[in-house]
Structure 1
Amino acid sequence: MVEDDAADLICISVIDGEYFVFDIVAVKRLRNDHHVAGILVGTLPQVPQQSVFLGLPVQLMPEEAALLVQQGVARIIDEALSHGTILAVDENNIDEAAAKLKINELESTESESQGALASYTTPTVSITDKYELPESSVSAIYDTPRFHIYKYLHQRGYFISPGLRFGSQFLAYPGDPLRYHSHYLVRGVGYDEEFSLLELVGSGRLGTGVKKAWMVGASLPNDYQDKLAVLRPSQTKDGEGSESNDDFVSFCIEWAGFG
């Protein structure tokens, strides 16, 4: 979905190479409309010395941020530059207020000068447009195997989260992670990338041990489209265990006795 109105774009703040969303309304939109849950990483103001219950901001994976920008749903804001601008504006406002107060003290009574200070209003400064980063800031992610398999699953309605705790790149959920357990341990690879039989067996057994299937997938190079047409009849005949479309192929590995 492409949102033409720039004001409706979700602002993703990039801080030291990581992507965050600070607006609770935007977080709800991401979860409800775009199947992006992210990870809460902020401490709670009342109980900051614990890490069991977390709050805003929500941290996004690079693949999540890149896909949202590619779909025209979000834009990337350089938080460091914008924060520096806000601080500079605040300092200028303080100097301006002090100068104004000094003039009032010289020309008016003390009560009038206090009133002038109280009525001073800090102007609102818009920084999102000025410090919006171009799409090229995330376009390098588009060519990675991780992004290809992330997009492949996202287009099929899966919620995806980091998979490090289970030894994979991603975890794929058939619905909201608050309602479902993950079904797949996911790894994206290059189409010609080699991996050992030991890794294949180990990953399959790992998935079985945590009651999940191990999925591996790759995006096909343009010159492999003819090869896919040859492979497709055998995949259709075999049925379970493989899925493909015009530019992507994936396989699920399960150890004997799964379930």
Structure 2
Amino acid sequence: MAAQQIDKGCDPPVPLEKQREVPSHDHQSMKFIKTESVGGLPTQKPYADRLAAPADRVITISVGVQGSLLVWDPLDAIVLQRNYRIQGASMGMHPRVPVQDAFMSLPIALMPEEGAYLRDKQQARFEDESSLVKMPTLMDVVKFHDARKVQVSQQDEIYDKLRPRHFDLHRDVVYSKYLRELQEAAAVEGVKLPESPDDLWELLRARLLAHPDLQNQVVNVELPTRSWRAQMGGLKMAEIAFHYPETSKERCFYAAYAALMDRGFSVTSGSNYGADFLAFKGDPHLVYSSYMVKVINVAEGDSLDDYLRLGRVATTAKKALLWVMVSEDLLVEFCCSKWSLMK
């Protein structure tokens, strides 16, 4: 695929060898959840574990019913961003803590261009996740409800065992909130409270545990959860071929994406800015995007309205506008523009 150099009005991207010198997020130091058993109760304990994965690891991509491309494996997600400069979009839940947990943010959704680029570089394999989708039979429905009743019963048992432990963990909070109320109730009833702090705590704890409606307002009991994806980790899905691009528009977009990636950019979706892509000169975790990218099919052309609209947005966002023009032969040319007042 041939392409011309970017216009001199815009700085070139950081070369690949230079990008490796730029400090990036230490994905290997992410905290993961390790499930253990303490006193017969399943608990979740965070621990820091440095993950090691080969630099040329083949990424496993699950293809959904509607063509969605999802990466579920944490190691794949790390290698994808650290080694292949492909960010994707985090689709999972994030914890309420400053440090993101990779397990909580999985899966990572990929654009079709990202999946095709990995395929052409022989860095990905595709699995047919749609084979897991089927209409349940009456027997499946009955089995599900029976299994659900067992799970709810198990959760209730775990809750009853963990509840006293959580009261002890939040002893100071419970004291500050309910000690005065206990003293007032004892004065009304004419009951003398114990003088020992430990005995007083046992009395307060027993009164709260005896009132289910009240105890739920004191502390939140965190029950261990299970990931359906982790449980089906041993399930083998059929490997399939990923056919993209197929239409003229898709071929045009993929040619533009591949040309930017081959020149050392990190490329993500530009839908938030009304553009086709965003191009980063370095690690997207550390730097802002330098260019809003608009892909133009030379055979179809483009309108002046698009130029004015994108130019205004790019100036407001302090980015340059990179026009990627793709011919019918998939030859790529670049043109960079900045409005005059933009520095």
TM over 0.5: yes
Runs (4+) of structure 1 moved beyond 4 Å? none
Residue 164 of structure 1: how far off its partner (Å) = 1.1
Rg larger in structure? 2
Distance of 2:261 and 2:334 partners within structure 1: 14
Distance of 1:34 and 1:152 partners within structure 2: 15
1:18-97 alignment, distance < 5 Å? 18-44=68-94, 55-82=105-132
1:14 equivalent to 2:63? Answer yes
Distance of 1:33 and 1:179 partners within structure 2: 15
Q: Given the alignment, which residue of 132, 142, 154 partners 2:261?
A: 154
The 1:82/1:166 distance shift into structure 2, 3 A limit, reads same
Distance of 1:135 and 1:80 partners within structure 2: 13
Residue 220 of structure 1: how far off its partner (Å) = 2.9
Q: RMSD of the TM alignment (CA)?
A: 3.1
1:253 equivalent to 2:341? Answer no
Q: What corresponds to 2:213 in structure 1? A: none
Query: What letter matches 2:301 in structure 1?
Result: E
**Greater RCO, CA 8 A, separation 6+:** 2
1:140 equivalent to 2:190? Answer no
Distance of 2:268 and 2:123 partners within structure 1: 19
Q: What corresponds to 1:4 in structure 2? A: none
TM-score (norm 2): 0.49
Distance of 1:73 and 1:194 partners within structure 2: 34
Query: Unaligned stretches of 5+ in structure 1?
Result: 1-6, 48-52, 95-123, 225-246
Query: What letter matches 2:280 in structure 1?
Result: Y
Contact map agreement 1:82 1:127 (CA 8 A) in 2: no
Number of equivalent positions: 188
Distance of 1:80 and 1:192 partners within structure 2: 36
1:217 equivalent to 2:321? Answer no
Q: What corresponds to 2:310 in structure 1? A: 203
TM-score (norm 1): 0.64
Query: Unaligned stretches of 5+ in structure 2?
Result: 1-55, 97-101, 144-232
Q: What corresponds to 1:112 in structure 2? A: none
Contact map agreement 1:208 1:255 (CA 8 A) in 2: yes
